[in-house]
């Protein structure tokens, strides 16, 4: 039986355990360039024992940033700062991952500590784009420009170019952001996609952007490295994107070469009533894993070692991704190993080991 501290192999990559650092926006880059903050944030969590460390939503074009502080990979200048971080992550025994993203109509916002509302173009913001010219709603009130077919193709090319740069930077695990109400999810959800062309309307049309982007990225991302997708498995709104659609899309993403689905939810509309509670998204990972045979990661209010271990043991997911708990405690994996009586006990970096 598998468990939280059993290694996990996907393609040619082996994680030392089932714990992944969920991609977490730091809003601390300058012109998309990662810096010492990211080195500390990601490096500390690799040293803390996680098997996989996924760097935050990294914009494929500047206008795809959620805030002016988002990381980016839209130019070759972005490669080396990321490569430096990836070398540290690897040296600490973890696998370096990265999430590629485009925020669509949720772009051009202030950082959370600046209020999080859309920034006027005159205040450091920029015009946004989306499948359709409909705003998310207060406080993200900008009306986006509806992408033309040529512009859609150019965003997809930007994902491919960014994936190539990620590879050069030493990323070994790539995640495409298809969740949380950002651009790919804006195409998926009927709540944000009112197009009448081949990218809107039917399920096949709404999923076209993400499937095509995935296929194009898979073509340049080496076969031996994992390509994964984060989905919002439900919008939590009647008439919105649903779990049944996520299951069918996961099947098609698997056929397109996706190795794992990272199962989150929400983000399409502020009015969604989300039953937030311990492991509330785990059933999505479980159903997608069981019904499609694709590997899954569970994420969302996973806080306790026993809870995380059980998710893996009973086959609800292959991996657990943690965010908030790992912000509070970068050494959560080392503490979890003790709580679970793992033998041999994973040790902290050699520089700290004499204390144990
Ligand atoms: C939180 C969030 C979770 C679920 C739905 C919507 C939002 N996160 C998502 C992050 C950015 C910061 C807020 C990303 O996915 C990039």
% of the chain residues with pLDDT over 70:
100
Distance between CA atoms of residues 156 and 164, nearest Å: 13
Residue 1 lies in a domain: no
State mean pLDDT over 291-310: 98
Q: What is the pLDDT of residue 268?
A: 97
Residue 355 has pLDDT above 90, yes or no: no
Token pair in block for residue 171: 């990323």
Residue 39 lies in a domain: yes
Instruction: Give me the pLDDT at residue 356, please.
Output: 76
| Mutate which of 56, 267, 302 for ligand 1 pocket (most atoms within 8 A of beta carbon) | 267
Query: What lines the ligand 1 site, CB under 6 Å?
Result: 25, 57, 180-181, 264, 266-267
179 pLDDT higher than 80: yes
Nearest CA, atom 15, ligand 1: 180
Q: How far is the CA of 344 from the centre of ligand 1 (A)?
A: 36
**Alpha carbon separation from 93 to 65, 146, 175, 196, 259 (Å, rounded):** 30, 44, 20, 49, 22
**What local confidence, expressed as pLDDT, does residue 253 receive?**
99
Q: Which of 182, 199, 280, 352 is catalytic?
A: 182
Residue span of the structural domain in which 321 resides: 8-355
Question: Under a CB-based contact definition with an 8 Å cutoff, are residues 109 and 66 in contact?
Answer: yes
Take residue 122 and report the two structure tokens written for it.
Answer: 């005159």
Ligand 1: which of 65, 112, 176, 180 to mutate, judged by most atoms within 8 Å of the beta carbon?
Answer: 180
- Model pLDDT, residue 354: 86
Which of 151, 240, 113, 150 has the alpha carbon at shortest distance from 188? Answer: 240
Helix axes 79-91, 149-168, angle to 10 degrees: 50
Give the N- to C-terminal CA distance of the chain in Å, as an integer.
29
Average pLDDT of every residue of the chain: 98
Contact (Cβ atoms closer than 8 angstroms) between residue 336 and residue 345: no
Looking at residue 246, its pLDDT comes to 98
Cis-peptide, bond into residue 316, ω within 30° of zero: no
Catalytic residue list contains 280: no
Q: pLDDT confidence of 1, banded at 50, 70, 90?
A: confident
Residue that the structure tokens 């912000």 belong to:
327
Span 127-132, average pLDDT: 98
On the question of pLDDT at 73 being above 90, the answer is yes
Q: Whose CA is nearest to atom 1 of ligand 1?
A: 180
CATH number for the domain that contains residue 110 = 3.20.20.70
- Cis peptide leading into residue 344 (ω within 30°): yes
pLDDT given at position 134: 98
In the block, tokens 């059993």 appear at 6
Is 3 domain-assigned? no
Residue 161 within any structural domain of the chain:
yes
Closest C-alpha to ligand 1, atom 13: 25
Residue 266 CA, closest ligand 1 atom number: 5
Asked if the structure places residue 60 within a domain, the reply is: yes
Average pLDDT value for residue range 215-233: 98
Instruction: Assess if residue 76 is contained within a domain.
Output: yes
Nearest by Cα to 305 from 262, 338, 346, 264: 338
Does 292 fall in a domain? yes
The number of beta carbons lying within 10 Å of the beta carbon of residue 115 is 11
Ligand 1 mean position, distance from CA 353 (Å): 35
Query: In the Cβ-directed half-sphere of 140, how many Cα atoms lie within 13 Å?
Result: 27
pTM: 0.98
Of ligand 1's atoms, which has the minimum distance to the CA of residue 103? 16
pLDDT of amino acid 46: 98
Residue nearest atom 9 of ligand 1, based on CA coordinates: 180
Asked, for residue 2, whether it belongs to a domain, the answer is no
Q: CB within 8 A of 344, min separation 6: which ones?
A: none
Please give the full DSSP string across 100-144, using - where no structure is assigned: EE--GGG-SB--GGGT-PBPPGGGT----EESSS---BTTB-PPP
**Helix, strand or coil, per DSSP, at residue 230:** strand
Distance between Cα 101 and ligand 1 center (Å): 12
**Taking the CB of residue 190, how many other CB atoms lie within 10 A of it?**
18
CA distance 108 to 117: 9
Query: How many independent structural domains does the chain possess?
Result: 1
Query: What's the gap in Å between 24 CA and the centre of ligand 1?
Result: 8
Question: How far, in Å, from the CA of 197 to the mean position of ligand 1?
Answer: 28
Q: What pLDDT, in 10s, does the model give residues 332-349?
A: 999 999 999 999 999 999
pLDDT above 90: percentage of residues in the chain? 99
Residue 140, phi then psi, degrees to nearest 5: -105, 80
User: Measured in angstroms, how far is the CA atom of residue 65 from the centroid of ligand 1?
Assistant: 13
Calculate mean pLDDT across residues 273-295. Answer: 98
Q: State the DSSP H helix or E strand holding residue 283, giving kind and residue range, or none if neither.
A: helix 282-292
Angle value at C-alpha 184, between 300 and 13, nearest 5 degrees: 60
- Give the tens place of pLDDT for each residue, 246-278: 999 999 999 999 999 999 999 999 999 999 999
For ligand 1, atom 12, the nearest C-alpha belongs to 25
* Number of residues assigned to the chain: 356
Per-residue model confidence as pLDDT tens digits over 32-67: 999 999 999 999 999 999 999 999 999 999 999 999
Q: How many whole angstroms separate alpha carbon 194 and alpha carbon 172?
A: 36
DSSP three-state, residue 319:
strand
């Amino acid at each position: 039986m598998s468990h939280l501290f059993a290694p996990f192999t996907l393609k040619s990559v082996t994680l030392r355990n089932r714990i992944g650092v969920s991609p977490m926006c730091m809003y601390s880059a300058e012109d998309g360039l990662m810096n010492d903050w990211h080195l500390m944030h990601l490096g500390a969590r690799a040293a803390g024992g996680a098997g996989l460390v996924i760097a935050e939503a990294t914009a494929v074009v500047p206008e795809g940033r959620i805030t002016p502080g988002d990381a980016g990979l839209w130019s070759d200048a972005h490669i080396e700062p990321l490569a430096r971080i990836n070398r540290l992550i690897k040296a600490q025994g973890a696998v370096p991952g990265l999430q590629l993203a485009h925020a669509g109509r949720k772009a051009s916002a202030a950082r959370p500590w600046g209020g999080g509302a859309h920034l006027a173009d005159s205040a450091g913001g920029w015009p946004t784009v989306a499948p359709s010219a409909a705003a998310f709603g207060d406080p993200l009130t900008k009306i986006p420009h509806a992408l033309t077919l040529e512009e859609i193709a150019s965003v997809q090319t930007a994902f491919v170019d960014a994936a190539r740069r990620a590879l050069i930077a030493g990323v070994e695990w790539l995640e495409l952001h298809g969740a949380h109400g950002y651009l790919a999810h804006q195409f998926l959800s009927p709540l944000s996609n009112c197009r009448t062309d081949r990218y809107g309307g039917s399920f096949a049309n709404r999923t076209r952007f993400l499937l095509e982007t995935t296929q194009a990225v898979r073509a340049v991302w080496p076969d031996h490295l994992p390509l994964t997708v984060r989905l919002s498995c439900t919008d939590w709104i009647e008439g919105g994107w649903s779990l049944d659609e996520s299951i069918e899309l996961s099947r098609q993403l698997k056929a397109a070469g996706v190795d794992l689905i990272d199962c989150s939810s929400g983000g399409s509309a502020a009015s969604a009533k989300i039953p937030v509670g311990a492991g509330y998204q785990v059933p999505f990972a479980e159903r997608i894993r069981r019904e499609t045979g694709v590997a899954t990661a569970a994420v969302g209010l996973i806080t306790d070692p026993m809870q995380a271990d059980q998710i893996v043991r009973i086959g609800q997911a292959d991996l657990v991704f943690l965010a908030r708990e790992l912000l509070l405690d970068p050494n959560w994996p080392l503490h979890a190993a003790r709580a679970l009586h793992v033998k041999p006990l994973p040790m902290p970096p050699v520089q700290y080991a004499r204390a144990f």
